[in-house]
Amino acid sequence: MAEQAIPDVVWHKAQIDAYTAIKPIYDKYAAALERVFTVAKSVSIPECIVQVRAKAMPSFAEKCLRKYEKHKDPVNELNDLCGARVIVHTLEQVKAVRAFVRCNFLIREEDEKGLILGEDKFGYRDLHFLILLDPARAAAIGFTADEIKVIGSRVAELQVRTVVQHAWADILHDRMYKTKLVYPPTFKRKGSLLAAIMEDGDRQFDSLAGDIDGMQTNFTVYASCQEVDKEIKILEVIYENANQDKKSSAALNLAKAALNLAKAALNLAKLYSAKDRYEDVCTTLKPHQNIEGSLRFEILLELGYALCKQHAAQPASPDYQAGQDALLEVIDECRCEVYDSIPNLRKRQSMLARALTRLGWSYQNCPNNAAKARSCYCQALCVEPGNPYYLAEVLAYEIFCSGKADMISTMEATIREAIATCRQHAANGVELPYAYFTAGRLQLLLGCDKEGPEREKVALDHDKAAVVDYAHGLRLLKTGDICVPSDLLEQEKAWIHRVAHSNTPTHGKKWVLDLIDLYARNGTAAKKTAGETKLAAPVMIVAGSAGIGITSTDIERLTAILADAVAGCRGCILSGGTSVGVPGAISQAVMEASSKGQVPELVSYLPRSLPTDLEADKRYRMVICGENDFSPAQPLQYWRDILANGVAAKEVVVFGYGGGMIAAAEYAIALMLGAEVYLVRGSGRAADGFLQMEALIPNLKGLPNDKKSILFLFRSASPAPATFTSEELDRMARQIHANYVEKNAKKIPESLRHWDRLDDNYRQANIGQAQEMAEILHRHNFAVVPQSSPGVALTTDDMKQKDLKEFVEKMAELEHGRWNVDRLKKGWRHGERDNEHKVHDCLVPWDVLPDQIREYDREAIRNYPGILANVGMKIVKLGD
């Protein structure tokens, strides 16, 4: 290897003198470059770090010698005499800085270091530029005329990196690669491993930051109405103080005060918009619509939409047109690639998509502007191609404008993926209720271009799924906790009508419209009005598997359980009306129980024609509705009749065992209306699917697959006349509590407090136990009678004798079933014990309950004689 030439001292001294002469120019270059980038980053990424320096003399002197072979005239050939570094948080921000640099500087060289690494290599990944001032843009971004003249065509080196990349470069890169030391392989392996972890960390930070920023931008989508109202009050105070601050600011601070006031106005206006207070939005934002900088376009986005909303009834009015013009201006700005500051690319893309959809809505609200609306929605989808909400709008307009749905089959994979995205949003608790409504929209579209038997089968499945999705969305609306536009349901109906204008008349569109109508009627003055079908209260719905997913053994066991459960019940039971599966089991159960006394009436809502393999069960009173095969038409109709008969939805109990799409629709509609829905845990299919949401839906209960629990559920839905007075129940409950305190002195302190200070949750549990004593005893041939009545009274000691042990065990099992249902009705659910959130690990069948826990129920039965004696009652064995 040839020996490297070393320059002489005279050459080196000449280079140092030459650089000394021009270094003030590079100092000025560095100061100007730092100022320009500091201002440029202040709007979108104020947290980023800008580092700029002119090369120090010692560093230049050393580099002259070390790079002599490559640079014989370093003062004129070196490109890093002015060096800048911009350190940002995310990869998205790296792209934004690159966009700013490309727009405003001449680029001699651009080098993305990560691109030269092999697919299996990790390491240095900065973005490097060699830049020069662009005479056409330098003044616009803040360089003075003097600076432009002095700097001229001199080159500066610019590095753009994330904080993670910066950590790698600062801590390891120079130590490992800018040295002649030979490190052991283990060092290099550690370095590569760290580089791989940090590269993946960069990607994860970028993704998570984007998701979080999206949620913060759309606060009202995730916040409850109460939280929005509270935030409005806070921001009104902030806005008023910012307004006072602007009035009192000196001239030098006036621009900053105006900017702060405009930001406060924008934040407040977004919340006003969520509450449909569009006049307040306009009043708040109009004074700030001409503010300079990118904030202006965020203001115009909200102001333009509010003007259109406020004047929606007069789409030809000047104010409405002004709103559309504001939205068009935002769209033009977002599409402009000339940046005076570092842009927030993600925000610009999101703002462009929102402006396009809002403009699309404004055209949709105008007569004969469907083509313009479609164009806007299509453009929004192009901006965010993975957005399912835009996709649903685009497809509806494509069908509406063409009158055909033949493009749906080619889009099926995309639509299915969009539905999956909506499902994920719903599971994550975001974009609600829109995630459910949009999933429902897309389900209505799938299969609507099919014809003949294939269309009938495929389309009906999607139509049923659409009803379930819409019911979930409406259920969330019913809580009143979500901030949505007041015309949201009108928008949904308008979307359905647009699609319905096509030549694809699927049943699902009508069912969803009927569902929305049912939602609107629930709780209105329609009660107390005679319905087409008379239904005697109390009403109970029994739903579930009608063949698929349930075995003959399951049916046999369920029939026996239900026969015991329905005995003595009043009112009516609505079920499927066939002799198979769950409908057949409840029918057989009612017939068997009828020989023992009172039973509820069986009522079935059936389609005009049944599938060829099914027959109607004549033991039901039949109501015909709907066309071919079972569908959501039946539950929609029976709920109309329930409400028309003056029965409140919250008074209806639904018992569900497994089930497919029809049962899923029954569960979803009942939950939407506010009925109590008890689904047997472990019964499969739709029931198990719904129970995954048990913690989120207060009126959804996971019922243990247990004979006694099911019995007490039916008893609670059709309670018998009270055996004890309220005063007697209070005395009995106090005694139950006293017995518990005596037996469990070392248990949870809050459950051992004096009755007067006992939490109402524990009080009600004791009262519930007292209420059902007579029923539990009666089911095992014992009676509760006054002390003066004939017959030998059973004592507590008697209950401990061997000859009554079997009775005590059976009654304890009943007591546990009663306790299960009582806990579920009071909002508890099964899981790891957590009293604060009402989760209990003992909400299980008797068969799997630990014996030490069963002993509590046995002890409760043994205490019956003493508790009843406290209110002048005794237990006698019937037949003695």
CATH classification at residue 356: 1.25.40.10
Q: Which domain holds residue 176?
A: 9-204
Of the candidates 852, 824, 854, 816, which has an alpha carbon nearest to the alpha carbon of residue 840? 824
pLDDT, position 217: 47
Sheet hosting strand 700-703, strand order edge to edge: 621-624, 601-606, 572-575, 539-544, 653-657, 676-680, 700-703
CATH number at residue 690: 3.40.50.450
Question: Is the pLDDT assigned to residue 221 strictly greater than 70?
Answer: no
One-letter amino acid at 499 equals V
Q: Are residues 742 and 708 in the same domain?
A: no
Q: Are residues 553 and 636 in the same domain?
A: yes
Q: Are residues 561 and 460 in the same domain?
A: no
pLDDT digits (tens, 9 = 90+) for 685-740: 999 999 999 999 999 999 999 999 999 999 888 887 777 888 888 888 888 888 88
Q: Does 676 reside within a domain?
A: yes
Q: Are residues 398 and 510 in the same domain?
A: yes
pLDDT digits (tens, 9 = 90+) for 413-451: 999 999 999 999 999 888 889 999 999 999 999 867 555
DSSP state of 383: H
Q: Check residue 353 and give left, alpha or beta (phi > 0: left; psi -120 to 50: alpha).
A: alpha
Contact (CB, 8 A) for 614 and 620: no
Contact (CB, 8 A) for 493 and 509: no
pLDDT digits (tens, 9 = 90+) for 577-615: 999 999 999 999 999 999 888 899 999 999 998 887 788
pLDDT, position 644: 92
**211 or 154, greater pLDDT:** 154
Q: Lowest-confidence range among 128-142, 465-479, 544-558, 742-756?
A: 742-756
- 224: confidence class by pLDDT, cuts 50, 70, 90: confident
Query: For 529-607, where are the alpha helices, taking DSSP H only?
Result: 552-566, 581-593
pLDDT, position 173: 53
Q: Are residues 234 and 120 in the same domain?
A: no
Q: Lowest-confidence range among 121-135, 399-413, 665-679, 761-775?
A: 121-135
Q: What is the largest CA-CA distance in the chain?
A: 130
- 207: confidence class by pLDDT, cuts 50, 70, 90: low
Q: Does 2 reside within a domain?
A: no
pLDDT, position 529: 46
Question: Is the pLDDT assigned to residue 56 strictly greater than 50?
Answer: yes
Q: Does 791 reside within a domain?
A: yes
Q: Are residues 235 and 343 in the same domain?
A: yes
Rounded to whole angstroms, the Cα distance separating 640 from 626 reads 14
**245 or 739, greater pLDDT:** 739
pLDDT digits (tens, 9 = 90+) for 501-512: 655 556 889 999
Looking at the 3D structure of the chain, how many domains does it have? Answer: 4
User: For 89-114, what is the mean pLDDT?
Assistant: 87
- 192: confidence class by pLDDT, cuts 50, 70, 90: low
Handedness of CA 770, 772, 775, 781 (dihedral sign): negative
User: For 331-358, what is the mean pLDDT?
Assistant: 90
3-state helix, strand, coil in the chain (%, to 5): 60, 10, 30
Would you give the end-to-end CA distance of the chain in angstroms? 118
Of the candidates 865, 872, 735, which has an alpha carbon nearest to the alpha carbon of residue 743? 735
Whats the size of the chain, residue-wise? 880
Q: 484, 517, 550 — which closes off a domain?
A: 517
Among 9-18, 163-172, 208-217, the range of highest mean pLDDT = 9-18
Contact (CB, 8 A) for 198 and 220: no
Q: 675, 697, 717 — which closes off a domain?
A: 717
Rounded to whole angstroms, the Cα distance separating 427 from 826 reads 25
Q: Does 525 reside within a domain?
A: no
pLDDT digits (tens, 9 = 90+) for 821-839: 999 999 999 999 998 899 9
User: For 119-144, what is the mean pLDDT?
Assistant: 80
pLDDT digits (tens, 9 = 90+) for 780-791: 888 889 888 888
Q: Does 531 reside within a domain?
A: no
Rounded to whole angstroms, the Cα distance separating 695 from 692 reads 8
Question: Is the pLDDT assigned to residue 535 strictly greater than 80?
Answer: yes
Q: Are residues 352 and 467 in the same domain?
A: yes
Q: How far is CA 362 from CA 52, 373, 377, in A?
A: 48, 8, 11
Q: Does 215 reside within a domain?
A: no
Q: 145, 173, 204 — which closes off a domain?
A: 204
Q: Are residues 395 and 475 in the same domain?
A: yes
**204 or 430, greater pLDDT:** 430
Quick one: what percent of the chain has pLDDT higher than 70? 87
Contact (CB, 8 A) for 258 and 467: no
User: For 92-97, what is the mean pLDDT?
Assistant: 89
**91 or 639, greater pLDDT:** 639
One-letter amino acid at 71 equals H
CA atoms within 13 A on the CB side of 94: 24
User: For 243-264, what is the mean pLDDT?
Assistant: 76
Confidence (pTM): 0.84
3-class SS of residue 748:
coil
One-letter amino acid at 706 equals D
User: For 372-380, what is the mean pLDDT?
Assistant: 94
CATH number at residue 840: 1.10.490
Q: Does 532 reside within a domain?
A: no
pLDDT digits (tens, 9 = 90+) for 804-825: 888 999 999 999 999 999 999 9
pLDDT digits (tens, 9 = 90+) for 626-654: 878 899 999 999 999 999 999 999 999 99
Contact (CB, 8 A) for 773 and 867: yes
Q: Are residues 708 and 738 in the same domain?
A: no
Quick one: what percent of the chain has pLDDT higher than 90? 53
Q: Does 593 reside within a domain?
A: yes
- 116: confidence class by pLDDT, cuts 50, 70, 90: very low
3-class SS of residue 109:
strand
Q: Are residues 392 and 480 in the same domain?
A: yes
pLDDT, position 406: 79
Q: Are residues 246 and 164 in the same domain?
A: no
Report CA dihedral (699, 703, 708, 711) to the nearest 10 degrees.
40
User: For 739-749, what is the mean pLDDT?
Assistant: 70
Q: Are residues 751 and 679 in the same domain?
A: no
Residue with structure tokens 């809502």? 605
Round the average pLDDT of the chain to a whole number and report it: 86
CATH number at residue 171: 3.30.460.10
